[in-house]
Each structure stands twice: as C-alpha cells, then as structure tokens.
Amino acid sequence: MTTAQLLGNDPGWLIAVKAVLVFAICVVSTLMAVWTERRVLAKMQLRTGPNRVGPAGLLQSLSDGVKLALKEDIIPAAADKVVFIIAPIIATAMCFMAFAVIPMTGVVSLFGHKTALQLTDLPVGVLYILAVTSIGVYGVVLAGWSSGSTYPLLGGLRSSAQVISYEVAMGLSLVAVFIYAGSMSTSDIVASQHQHIWNAVVLFPSFVIYVISMVGETNRAPFDLAEAEGELVGGFHTEYSSLKFALFFLAEYVNIIAVSALATTLFLGGYHALPGLGFTEQWFGGWFTFIWFLLKVNFFFFIFMWLRGSLPRLRYDQFMKFGWKVLIPVSLVWILIVATLRVLQQQNAPRVAIIAFAAGLVIIVMAISSVFERNKQKIRTTDLPEGATPNFPVPSLPNVQSINVSGGN
Amino acid sequence: MTDFNEKMDVEKRNSGQADINSVPFIEVEQPGPAPLAQQAKGFWVTFSTMFKKNQTVQYPDVKAPTQPRFHGRHQLNRHPDGLEKCIGCELCAWACPADAIYVEGGNNTPGNQMSPGERHGAVYQINYLRCIFCGLCVEACPTRALTMTNEYELADDKREKLIFEKEDLLAPLRQGMLAPPHPMYPGMTDTNYYNGDVKEAHPSQAEK
C-alpha cells in the first residue's frame, strides 16, 4: 500500500488533528530553532548565548515572542494599510502550507488509525512546495512595497530578485531527483530512495546545488541581502513592529525548517533510518522514524547556522553572478548527463556504453579545463610611468616621486 | 576660462605630459581565489570553536575580580584613630577635569574636631554622572584622604542617587577607631598624624 492510499483512508477528524499537529510541530520547532541557533552561534563565537529564561534558556524565544506580541503595533502613515497587514499573513501562511506534503514518519498508529504523519500526498507534491514558497515571496515583496519607505522597498526588491534567481537553480536541481525517482510525489521519492540509495549520493551535484540555493531561497547568511542590516536597516521588515514583525520572524524560521525538511525528503532518504540502522524504524510503533526525520532536518539546520557563523555576506553582484552564471549552467549540464544516463539505463544499454559515456564526459571536462588553464591571462606588471610633474604644489600621489613645491614658472 | 583649459590641454598633448588627474598605477598580480582546502579552513575554525571553553563571565552571578589598581568608586580615608584625613583644601575639586567634585571646607573647633589640624571638609560631594574615573583627584590629594576602591557597580535609577555625599564616601570605622568628632591624640600634632605616628585611638579621646 502506498502512502497516498494510506492517507486516503483517513477520516476527516484525523486530517484535522494532523493539520493541528503539523502546525504545532512548525511553531514549536521554530521556538527551538531560534534558541538552538542563538546557542550554537554563541558557541562558535566563544559565548554562552541565552541562558536565563527556563532551563538553559530554553524558553527565551517564547518570552521574546510574548514580548513582541505585547509591544505597540505601529503602522506608518505612508504605508498602504491593507497590504501592510496582509503581507506578513501571506508570508507566514505559505510557509506553513509547504509542510502539508512533507512525510515526517512512516506508517504509525494515530488514535487507533493506521496512517502516516503527512497531511496529504499530492502526485506533484514537490511542485506544490515550490509554488507555495514562491507565493511566500509575495509577502516579502508586498511588505517592502507597502511600507512606503525606501529601505524596505529596496529590501523587498532584492529579496524578490534573489528568490527568483535561486528558485531556478533549485528547480533544476530537483529535476534530477524527479528523473531518478520517476515521480514528483514526496512520499514516492522517499520510497524510491529506500529501495535504492540516497539521492545525496547518486545525485551529489544536485544535492550541493540544492543546499546552496536553499540558503539563497530563505534569505539567510551569507545570502541575506534582503535584510542586510548594515545596508538596509532591517530590509523589508524595517517598518514592522509587534505581532506583524513576529509573523515575519516566524515565517523565516518555518521557511528554513521547510526547505531543510524538503532537502531531507529529497536527498537524505526522508524519515528512514541511516543505512544499517533499519531495525530502529520499528521502535515506539514506528514513531522512531520521526526522530530520524528530526535528526536529518537538524543536520541541515546546523549547516545554516554554520554558514552564518563562518561566512561574510556576499556583494549583490557577486551573488547574482554566482546564481546565474555558475549554479544554473552547472545544473543544466548536470541534468543533461543525468537524463542521458537514465535513458541509457532504461533502454538496457550495455554496461560498456554507460561506462564509455561517463568516461567520455570526464575527458571532455578535463580537456575544457586544461584549455581554460592555458588561456588564463597572465597578469602583466607594467613599469610605473614617469610621474607627471605639475608646476603647482599638490599632495604626493602613491608611487609617484615627490614634487618640487618651490617650482613655478 | 575655456580658452585657458584648451590651451593647457594642447600644451599637455604637445609636451607628452599625462593628465595629473589620472593616477599612474602598477598592475599587481592578483592572488585569485584560494584553493578549496584553504577556503574550508574558515569552517573548521568556527566548528572547532564550538568545543572550546567560552569566555563569557556570568556577570550578576559571578563577579570577576578587577585589577588591584582598578579605578572604582572613591573613598575618603581616616587616620588610625578615626579622624578624617580630608582637610577641605579643594585641590581634588580643582584637579577634576569633569568638574564632578564639590568641596566646602570648615574650621575644626575644640568641640567639633573632625580631622587633625585646623580645617576639615564640611561638605564633600562627588557626582558620578560626571566623574570619568581618571584619578587626577587622587593624585592631587595632599593627605591621601581620597583614594579609589575597586567597586564598579554604580548604576542607579535616579540622578540624585548618583551624587555621593560625604557619608557615602567615608571609609568605615575599623578596629581601634573612634567616630569623630573627638580631640586629637594627646601630645600629637597634625604633622605627627601625617607622618603616621598615630597608630590607634587613645582612651582619653573617647571622653567628650
């Protein structure tokens, strides 16, 4: 029985319960994520991080949230009120919606029903996630535009340009997964990885491209140009306060968890255990798979924190150049290779042909790279031209001999 | 003006002189991107730092001791018999670059002997909203009446509370000290006090 059939048998009340459960998981994991990030980042900087509220500061983000909610809510006079209020709602709602198709456990029993912790299983689940997260960008763009202020507008525009650019690379990296799994449904992709091998191994380039573009997609360091605090104050949420700001905050973290969950599902075998530890999946009536899922998501979340702790922010042109001129061409070429290999396999081509194709590719890559190396322009050092000597005193220029000040005609 | 500029340009062109606004430069060899292994080094730095002992001092719970000569709150010292060292000379107030000290001197009378000699500080105020803890007042003090302690917790919620009066600044009475006013040690002059000949209060000083 496939997951889709399993979920099809859910009664209505169970779907409602699962919806609440998914929502609760998102909110609680956001609270935990904020705390984890602050603690881990602090450790990377020889600090302690929040440790006052609750045991080891665990309730810090909760108290921050309560504080934010109780603060004065300011709507600037220049703001477009309706859009200003709708924007954070769009951003947050879309992030939560992305979680609907993420398979979080294997077959478990929930209130006596055999089901899986996944709200629904669409045949085009991954496309649905891409669509929903793209709509989430509207929240950011509209927030920037409706604030009636310069910096938020710049932040919103940057963010839209960024997400569009990196969504292309992300989508292309997913195409390889679709080709390999033969399905766009999240649960089918997990199942196909369970039968064969993790996509992160077979489709390693796609995995790397996805991980890079998911950081770009979520506006996180080192790609956090949309809210570059040194350049744009707070970016698109500069004018936001109180609960509306909290919603953006929530959206950002739910988004991070959503893309991490998607990465887990598509590349790291989803809720299944690590190879060789398959027996653990039966523990707690199958609920242990949820632990595996969380562990894998946290692995990606750690990468987010690690990047934030290690890398400075990119310049905007470098960022765009990297997205369009490196990530997208590389993924395009990689998809061609994957598609060719897949077709060769499905047509039952002889093993020799596949190996010959792979070897030919390697030779072509080596040939191109050697040509590039040779043609690399040797940077010449030219001799310093003789310094111009004006006939009036000027401050001396670097590398120019000092000027005779007493001169003059 | 334009004529002049044109003329200059022509002259420059003829003489082969470069425009002085174009800065001559040398092309230096660019290092280019570092190899991948070196780029990964930064990630190792942050990762390994996670397992190092962190440097945070849990301040309100754990108070790190200051350096012994830390410039903290001031203290007005006493002679070993309890008389104040301050003679109300106002040198500290004059030395203060932030104008944080206010002193009014007063006469020592037989019934009101606060310090050895003729004068004592009747009013002594330090405004900690102005004080910059430079220690020039301590250097200026001729009797070592004014020194600084290591106390650094000087925050408060009212401006008035941060103007410290003489009672707030005076050193506590130690073993063998008597609270002034009381007469000087029998047979001792203010010079003896200054030289440190007085070691403790004499029983007769307690009698009023």
Residue A44 scores a pLDDT above 70: yes
Tell me if A402 is assigned to some domain. no
- State how far residue A392 is from chain B, nearest Cα, in angstroms: 11
At B149-208, the pLDDT tens digits run: 999 989 999 999 999 999 999 999 988 888 888 888 888 888 999 998 888 888 888 875
> Which sign, positive or negative, has the C-alpha torsion A303, A306, A310, A313?
positive
Confidence of residue B25 (pLDDT cuts 50, 70, 90): low
> Average pLDDT over chain A, rounded to whole?
83
At A68-106, the pLDDT tens digits run: 889 988 888 888 889 999 999 998 998 888 888 888 887
Tell me if A40 is assigned to some domain. yes
> Which sign, positive or negative, has the C-alpha torsion B88, B92, B95, B100?
negative
Q: Does B48 touch chain A (CB under 8 A)?
A: no
Q: Does B30 touch chain A (CB under 8 A)?
A: yes
Least confident of A43-52, A329-338, A350-359, B139-148: A350-359
Confidence of residue A408 (pLDDT cuts 50, 70, 90): very low
The residue among B184 and A383 whose pLDDT is bigger is B184
Are A289 and A281 in contact by the 8 Å Cβ rule? The answer is yes
Residue A23 scores a pLDDT above 50: yes
Residue A354 scores a pLDDT above 90: no
Closest CA to A225 of A309, A165, A303, A313: A313
What is the 8-class DSSP label of residue B170?
Answer: B
> Strands (DSSP E) along A16-112, which ranges?
107-110
Residue A59 neighbours by CB under 8 Å, 6+ apart? A53
Are A107 and A286 in contact by the 8 Å Cβ rule? The answer is yes
For residue B139, the model assigns a pLDDT of 93
For residue A388, the model assigns a pLDDT of 57
Tell me if A124 is assigned to some domain. yes
Confidence of residue B23 (pLDDT cuts 50, 70, 90): low
For residue A403, the model assigns a pLDDT of 46
At A216-234, the pLDDT tens digits run: 888 887 887 777 666 777 7
Residue A32 scores a pLDDT above 50: yes
Q: Which of A310, A379, A397 sits opposite B46 (nearest CB)?
A: A310
Least confident of A138-142, A150-154, A347-351, B1-5: B1-5
Backbone phi, then psi, for B196, in 5-degree steps? 80, 25
Q: Does A310 touch chain B (CB under 8 A)?
A: yes
Placement of tokens 């509220």 in the chain? A53
Are A105 and A7 in contact by the 8 Å Cβ rule? The answer is no
Mutate to test the interface with A, among B15, B36, B46, B52 (most CBs of A within 10 A): B46
At A164-190, the pLDDT tens digits run: 888 888 888 889 888 888 888 888 888
Are A118 and A21 in contact by the 8 Å Cβ rule? The answer is no
The CA distance from B18 to B15, in Å, is 9
Tell me if A244 is assigned to some domain. yes
Tell me if A403 is assigned to some domain. no
The domain containing residue A83 runs over which residues? 8-372
Are A227 and A279 in contact by the 8 Å Cβ rule? The answer is no
Backbone phi, then psi, for B100, in 5-degree steps? -100, -10
Placement of tokens 């496309």 in the chain? A127
The CA distance from B9 to B21, in Å, is 13
Residue A298 neighbours by CB under 8 Å, 6+ apart? A36, A260
Closest CA to B201 of B166, B171, B165, B173: B173
Q: Collapsing DSSP states into helix, strand and coil, what is residue A347?
A: coil
The CA distance from A337 to A176, in Å, is 9
For residue B125, the model assigns a pLDDT of 94
Neighbouring CB atoms inside 10 A of A387's CB total: 17
Pairing, β B119-127 against β A107-110: unpaired
Query: What are the DSSP calls for A330-346, one per residue?
Result: HHHHHHHHHHHHHHHHH
Q: Does A333 touch chain B (CB under 8 A)?
A: no
At B117-137, the pLDDT tens digits run: 899 999 999 999 999 999 999
Least confident of A49-58, A158-167, B12-21, B133-142: B12-21
Residue A407 scores a pLDDT above 50: no
Query: What are the DSSP calls for B75-141, one per residue?
Result: EE-B-TTS-B------HHHHH-TT--EEEEEEE-BTTB--SSSSEEEEEEEEETTT-----HHHHH-
At B44-89, the pLDDT tens digits run: 889 998 898 888 888 888 888 899 999 999 999 999 988 999 999 9
| Chain B contact set for A381 (CB, 8 A) | 26-29
Inter-chain CB proximity B55 and A44 less than 8 Å: no
Q: Does A372 touch chain B (CB under 8 A)?
A: no
Instruction: Report all structural domains of chain B as residue ranges with CATH numbers, in order of start.
Output: 74-193 (3.30.70.3270)
Q: Does B59 touch chain A (CB under 8 A)?
A: no
Q: Does A380 touch chain B (CB under 8 A)?
A: yes
Backbone phi, then psi, for A103, in 5-degree steps? -80, 120
As given in the structure block, the two tokens for residue A195 are 């039968």
Q: Which of B28, B42, B52 sits opposite A46 (nearest CB)?
A: B52
The residue among B89 and B1 whose pLDDT is bigger is B89
Confidence of residue A198 (pLDDT cuts 50, 70, 90): confident
Query: For the CA atoms of chain A, what is the radius of gyration?
Result: 26
Neighbouring CB atoms inside 10 A of A155's CB total: 29
| Chain A contact set for B30 (CB, 8 A) | 379
Q: What angle do CA A336, A337, A342 make, to 5 degrees?
A: 100
Residue A409 scores a pLDDT above 50: no
Q: What is the ipTM of this complex?
A: 0.71
For residue B138, the model assigns a pLDDT of 94
Please report the number of interchain residue pairs, chain A to chain B, with beta-carbon separation below 8 angstroms: 61
Tell me if A143 is assigned to some domain. yes
How many distinct structural domains can be found in chain A?
1
Q: Does B58 touch chain A (CB under 8 A)?
A: yes
The CA distance from B181 to B156, in Å, is 32
Highest mean pLDDT range out of A229-238, A388-397, B14-23?
A229-238
Tell me if A1 is assigned to some domain. no
Q: What angle do CA A77, A79, A82 make, to 5 degrees?
A: 120
Number of residues that this document lists for chain A: 409
For residue B27, the model assigns a pLDDT of 59
| Chain B contact set for A382 (CB, 8 A) | 26-27
Q: Which of A44, A383, A390 sits opposite B49 (nearest CB)?
A: A44
Are A157 and A141 in contact by the 8 Å Cβ rule? The answer is yes
- State how far residue B162 is from chain A, nearest Cα, in angstroms: 29
What is the dihedral angle through the alpha carbons of B150, B154, B159, B160, rounded to the nearest 10 degrees?
-60
Q: Does A44 touch chain B (CB under 8 A)?
A: yes
Tell me if A198 is assigned to some domain. yes
Residue B99 scores a pLDDT above 90: yes
